[in-house]
A and B are shown apart, each in its own frame.
Chain A
């Protein structure tokens, strides 16, 4: 096949401009759909996976009920003592109202933490958003907790997220009231010792304002330290467990530590992030399969459209095909020319579709609503996926040309050349 033959194919395609444009457009639309779906879908899952894989902790302990992990301080010490564990950090999340000294309150999510453990179980990215020294006046939350008596002096320090500081229009050093209800008289006065940034979420920054308090102080505030009857509750929502850095990259070692934690707390749910990664991958496979199925419908329709276009082309060019056959052009050469033209149409449509899909995603990322824009900006263009798509299109071109080729080779020459 020399350059002049390609030129002839190009002229043939141009000779039927409307058909060529329609066929390319149909294929481009059918290709743009999987490009958008697979690139954006893949990007979202890649982001999710990165979030999980970049977490500073590897194992999560959760209870089904609200604030269902009891005896959190003691349990964390037990988990800390397990082989392979670097740190265990209990988290208690409660919705509160935060009041500045003057003015109305702002709803916020406050997290009760043990500062040193919390820092040790954050990813480097998250740690970079926190102050260099996150102590909240009691790094290990032992002073106020006082072995479960909750009688020790409280540090009365709080850390507020930067958006919350801005909303309350206050600076570090100010005092605020943290109240479990909308009534400021039910609150405790704490000093703001700093601010911290919020990591970007999948759908943009967290819509909730966040604050950090020592775990025991938050427990006392909301009645989750000791019950009214005096019995010890020491509740938390979850415990994040970081394994030793030497084990973090080894799924089997992480699973062994998770098993040890599970043996310690058989009544709680213990999941390793390796499991979560697998679950995300499984979910990604399912949704990718759905996208591929959905895209296949579009591609199948464009395949049928291409067959119709090519059949019509054979009918319109029956004399040209007939004369070629009459002067002895072999059937395989006539077939090859049809297949090449079908491939040229599908590949042109494929390239146009990929370019169109990329443009659509770029437009959504630039001009879409904040949520759509955030999702679109996560799109990942996998070369393997795009090449597989082009390979599928080559196969589609071949399939689309089967019937037209058969028709072309069976044209009755005496009738065609009459």
Chain B
């Protein structure tokens, strides 16, 4: 029996300022299946629709037309509360600019998704410490984001993304703000997380080195998927 896709997009369109003079077709009829355990890169020039695709797959946005199924559940008509619940339980986000909360320590940032799920304080603390250890930041638990290097911040962000055992990891230019050495460390961590958790990974990138780590490669242009190839 074929496993249910983690995410399925059917003829998804996303139009901004629809019907107005400055209408933008960010996605134009994209159909896509992301299966469990896949490692997928999304490439393309600026404005090709990569981030819009990531927002829709990550349930941060809803399509103007088309269907999105999250593990078989249609989400395009779901309310914000239900989509928040699905994000909380199934999706981990890694952003180019890390987006750690500045007033929380590294430990508290990692524990935040667990707090959102109502995990007890002691267990939250134990799991967050373990995740920080996994990403090589044992001993930096009480550091605030401004006390960490860019590479360390991104590792905290990865630990945070893994906190809830997500089925899908979404990374938007995860190495965009890092030098090559730190970028390689972050990609190693991402790959290890993919291997160990079995979560599907979608990486949006301009960087061929980053894309090369993926097993499947999507190329987008003008809101359409123009190439979908396996390999790497």
Interface residues, chain A, with chain B CB atoms under 8 Å away: 2, 4, 8, 11-12, 15, 319-320, 323-331, 333, 413-414, 417-418
| Contact (A4, B58) CB under 8 Å given A15-B103, A323-B99, A331-B80 | no
| Contact (A330, B81) CB under 8 Å given A413-B61, A414-B60, A417-B99 | yes
Q: Whole-angstrom distance between the alpha carbons of A417 and B81 in the complex? A: 18
Of the stretches B86-94, B185-193, B219-227, the one at the interface is B86-94
**B71 interfacial by beta-carbon distance below 8 Å:** no
Across the interface, which residues of B come within 8 angstroms of A326, CB to CB? 58, 60, 87, 93
Interface residues, chain B, with chain A CB atoms under 8 Å away: 51-52, 55, 58, 60-61, 80-81, 84-85, 87-89, 91-93, 95, 99, 101-104, 108, 112-113, 115-117, 121, 160-161, 164
The residue on B at minimum CB distance from A5 is: B115
* A to B CB contacts below 8 Å, 8 in the list: A323-B99, A326-B60, A327-B88, A328-B91, A328-B164, A329-B84, A414-B60, A417-B99
Contact A328 B113, beta carbon cutoff 8 Å: yes
The residue on B at minimum CB distance from A332 is: B81
| Contact (A11, B95) CB under 8 Å given A326-B60, A329-B112, A418-B51 | no
Across the interface, which residues of B come within 8 angstroms of A15, CB to CB? 102-103
Q: How far is the CB of B227 from chain A (nearest CB, A)?
A: 24
Q: Whole-angstrom distance between the alpha carbons of A328 and B103 in the complex? A: 18
Q: How far is the CB of B59 from chain A (nearest CB, A)?
A: 9
Q: How far is the CB of B30 from chain A (nearest CB, A)?
A: 16
Q: When A and B form their complex, which 7 residue pairs have the shortest distance between CB atoms, in order from nearest?
A: A328-B88, A11-B103, A329-B116, A328-B87, A413-B60, A414-B55, A323-B99
Q: Main SS of chain B's interface residues?
A: helix
The residue on A at minimum CB distance from B87 is: A328
Choose among B61, B84, B101, B113 the residue that contacts A414 (Cβ–Cβ < 8 A).
B61
Choose among A4, A324, A325, A331 the residue that contacts B101 (Cβ–Cβ < 8 A).
A324
| Contact (A325, B84) CB under 8 Å given A413-B55, A418-B51 | yes
Give the residue among B80, B101, B104 with the most A Cβ atoms within 10 A.
B101
Q: Whole-angstrom distance between the alpha carbons of A11 and B99 in the complex? A: 17
Q: How far is the CB of B109 from chain A (nearest CB, A)?
A: 9
Contact A324 B95, beta carbon cutoff 8 Å: no
Contact A324 B51, beta carbon cutoff 8 Å: no
Contact A327 B103, beta carbon cutoff 8 Å: no
Q: How far is the CB of B51 from chain A (nearest CB, A)?
A: 7
Q: Whole-angstrom distance between the alpha carbons of A328 and B80 in the complex? A: 10
Apart from A328-B85, A330-B84, list 5 A-B contacts with CB within 8 A. A15-B102, A319-B99, A324-B101, A327-B92, A330-B85
The residue on A at minimum CB distance from B163 is: A327
